Structure 1
Amino acid sequence: MTRVPLHIAVDLVFFTGKKGGAETYVRGVFPALAAAHDDLRFVGIGNRELAANPPDWFPGEVVPLPVSGENRVQWALAEAFAVAVKAKSIKADLLHCPANFGPSVRLLPTLVSVLDVLPIKHPEWVPGGRAKAVQLLSRASARAATRIHTISDASADDIVALLGRSRSDIDMIHLGSDQVEPGKRVERAGRPYVLTGGNRMPHKNHGRLLEAWASIPAAERPKLVITGSHGDDPLAPLVRDLGLEDDVDLHGWVTAEELADLYEGASAYVFPTLFEGFGLPVVEAMARGCPVVGSDIPVLREVGGDDMVYVDPYDTASIAAGVRKVVADPVLRETLSAAGLKRAAQFTWQRTADAHAEVYRKMVGR
């Protein structure tokens, strides 16, 4: 008997290609879903820009809403009030909202991916006075969702505590990473460098990282390469104030190919974050054979296991000591690189996709 395809609408109104983690997630999971699950059919509900230039990674048509993905207010309101109406109108069996927000009223079975609860747990870290509005949208989405998907046990615990949903309503599915076959790492000639990235929100802790860098004796201070900013980097004044102009490369936004090359040549990836929903850069660095120095917080212990060097993200001396330890010891780097490759192999997009498919089918009783 031929199976009737399950018709899934995917909320892509947020997508611009410049928003980091949530976009990495959808670019990874939907091609893997399409490759292995022929009973699933996808249609994207996008913004004007996305519909005009449909992405090659999405396995289906993208239908537009009359909003701009560059306008935060427009796309947030569209997610709350318009996406479900559009999904219903195209006769979708299920709506998946993969970027924290979803409809304020449920019109069809709806899965909302709550990637983290930072605006509720740490509103002081939300810039631009947006915390209250984001909290309202987050709470309304969580109440209306049929089920909630999240990406770590640490985030699931936060959702239960702060959004009031039962653990039985939550599907925890870890993110994946691109599985590559890196060659043997060869130290590049010249001054070693350490890589880091992320947006410039306070919880990424770039300020303490730069202060830690300034505390490393100049004779043994590696270069620090920081990716992830658009336009004028807000870290530039602090770099100048700390006298680190020759020691820090504010590299800006990079392509996937450029980032892969940076991982390959780095002595380490440093990730002194104060809060994460998952910690995707840890897995991405490990998948490239790059040793990781990161924060000793529960979610990174969940992701990184025993295969990275942990530091206290609130202590600049601890951050500096962790970096110096790895950069100075080639045997440790080799050990961390090999262990990290094995660890990263546990986090594949296909495994993530297969678990999503199970949730979709469960939600519609298949």
Structure 2
Amino acid sequence: MLSHRLDSDPRIDVDFTLSIHNRTGKYFIGRELIEGVSDFIGDIYYGPLALSARPGRWLGSLLGRIQYLQTRGHVRQSSWRLPQRRSHRPVLHLDPFTVGSTALRREDIVLCHDVGPITHPELFEPHVCKAYEAIYNQIATVRPNVVFVSHASQRAYGARYNTGPSMTGRVIYPAIHIGNRAAPVAPRDFHGKPFLLTVGSIGDRKNQISCIAAFERSGLSDRGFHYVMCGSREPGFEAAARAAEQTPGVVMFHYLTDAELSWLYQHACGFILASRLEGFGLPVAEAIGHGLVPAITKASALEEVAGDAALLIDADDIDDIAAAMCRLAAMGPAEREDRKKVLLRSIDRFSPDRFIEQWRILLREVLGREPERLISSGAARETQCPL
């Protein structure tokens, strides 16, 4: 059941603290959402402060630290903890981690990317799992409006907290942008041999160590291929970096410009993501948009994004990953084009206009605003499901 606004101000405050320390897909989803529904937005909070712009490095570090200590204090019910904010408007949390900064109410909205710290604790630091477990227990008790980025995350939440379909929240897919990057530029010191590509945070969750082992087993390096990966650090990064250094043909970039990343997408022979956990999988959608055929973890959010034409692999089977790499490297033009057509139809669901339209429908329901005339009745019927 949707909640009503707390007073006559038909706007919502946003907690965007994640933007201080997270520049992955979560950040870009939040930024696009705020820009697309700016007429619904009241204050935007970064930690305890409402600011007109994302804080700079030093202030951001301080506010991020305060947010962490505040969340930890409320999780542990510590005697030392900051008082929770109490807004006169509903609050949109762009990640569950900030729920502890306010007194959570049914009028609020929580954007859930995944429930990995609950379902896959081995992939996260113990203190992260403990924090998210307490947060999700609070969400399940209070029952605010919950939005998921994929049906896979929605199902995982429903299974963990034993909620029926009408109480599990709704799914609003993130938007993807293709072709808006800067003019492509080859990464420095990269010699342009044929290569397979992985984009995403580097560590245990994305499973790069298994992919590196699979590339070595495939023999593709002896045939002149490289395996290129790039992304930020996550738990398990150090082991993946050591494996990359020790394996011929593997190239790991820790940072790339948009232009360099665009070049890699445009020139790769195929895309690999044998992730053990995904909330949505923006890099896979971007790879498809650039014309790449992906090999992805079966029965995951990645399969939900890519559809039937992707190569599906067992993330725990190195031989299976190696076979998929060989198939991508050897795939003929006819099969590649057939698969690309189906894949491109699949990602049509993730248009920026559709993303903003569905969020505007949700916010109008939560805030009690009148419907917009420009919203089609079909789209309204699809998104107006009970929470």
Q: TM-score, normalised by structure 1?
A: 0.81
1:186-218: CA deviations, max 9, x gaps? xx9952111112223422111111110110213
Amino acid at match of 1:290: L
Which of 127, 146, 149 is residue 148 of structure 1 equivalent to? 146
Q: Is the 8 A contact 1:101 1:141 kept in 2?
A: no
Query: How far apart, CA to CA, are the structure 2 residues paired with 1:8 and 1:83?
Result: 23
1:120-174: CA deviations, max 9, x gaps? 1111111255322331123223433421111122211111121344432301111
Give the match for residue 256 of structure 1.
258
Q: Is the 8 A contact 1:10 1:96 kept in 2?
A: yes
Change over 3 Å in CA distance of 1:53–1:279 after alignment to 2:
same
Give the match for residue 310 of structure 2.
308
1:335-346 paired onto structure 2 within 5 Å: 335-346=338-349
SS of 2:146's equivalent in the other structure is: strand
1:277-306: CA deviations, max 9, x gaps? 222221111122222111112422321111
Change over 3 Å in CA distance of 1:341–1:44 after alignment to 2:
same
Give the match for residue 11 of structure 1.
15
Query: How far apart, CA to CA, are the structure 2 residues paired with 1:75 and 1:225?
Result: 39
SS of 2:285's equivalent in the other structure is: helix
1:101 aligns with 2:97: yes
Once the 2 structures are TM-superposed, how far is the Cα of residue 109 of structure 1 from its aligned partner? 1.4
Once the 2 structures are TM-superposed, how far is the Cα of residue 250 of structure 1 from its aligned partner? 1.1
Q: Is the 8 A contact 1:196 1:269 kept in 2?
A: yes
Which of 102, 116, 119 is residue 114 of structure 2 equivalent to? 116
SS of 1:194's equivalent in the other structure is: strand
Give the match for residue 160 of structure 2.
162
Q: Is the 8 A contact 1:8 1:95 kept in 2?
A: yes
Greater mean deviation of Cα atoms: 277-286 or 42-51:
42-51
Amino acid at match of 2:258: A
Change over 3 Å in CA distance of 1:291–1:46 after alignment to 2:
same
Once the 2 structures are TM-superposed, how far is the Cα of residue 335 of structure 1 from its aligned partner? 3.2
Residue identity (%): 22
Uncovered stretches (5+) of structure 1, i.e. residues with no partner = 56-63
Query: How far apart, CA to CA, are the structure 1 residues paired with 2:137 and 2:195?
Result: 42
1:255-297: CA deviations, max 9, x gaps? 4333222211211111101221222221111122222111112
Query: How far apart, CA to CA, are the structure 2 residues paired with 1:265 and 1:162?
Result: 41
Query: How far apart, CA to CA, are the structure 2 residues paired with 1:84 and 1:353?
Result: 33
| RMSD value, Cα | 3.5
Change over 3 Å in CA distance of 1:129–1:75 after alignment to 2:
closer
Amino acid at match of 1:153: H
Greater mean deviation of Cα atoms: 139-148 or 154-163:
139-148
Give the match for residue 355 of structure 2.
352
Give the match for residue 236 of structure 1.
241
Which of 316, 333, 336 is residue 333 of structure 1 equivalent to? 336
Change over 3 Å in CA distance of 1:75–1:285 after alignment to 2:
farther
Change over 3 Å in CA distance of 1:181–1:352 after alignment to 2:
same
Aligned residues: 343
Give the match for residue 64 of structure 2.
69
Query: How far apart, CA to CA, are the structure 2 residues paired with 1:275 and 1:286?
Result: 19
Give the match for residue 46 of structure 1.
46
Query: How far apart, CA to CA, are the structure 1 residues paired with 2:232 and 2:342?
Result: 30
1:333-365: CA deviations, max 9, x gaps? 333334333322221122112111111121233
Amino acid at match of 1:7: R
Change over 3 Å in CA distance of 1:52–1:18 after alignment to 2:
same
Give the match for residue 139 of structure 1.
137
Change over 3 Å in CA distance of 1:70–1:213 after alignment to 2:
farther
Amino acid at match of 1:249: V
Q: Is the 8 A contact 1:216 1:320 kept in 2?
A: yes
Once the 2 structures are TM-superposed, how far is the Cα of residue 319 of structure 1 from its aligned partner? 0.7
SS of 2:228's equivalent in the other structure is: strand
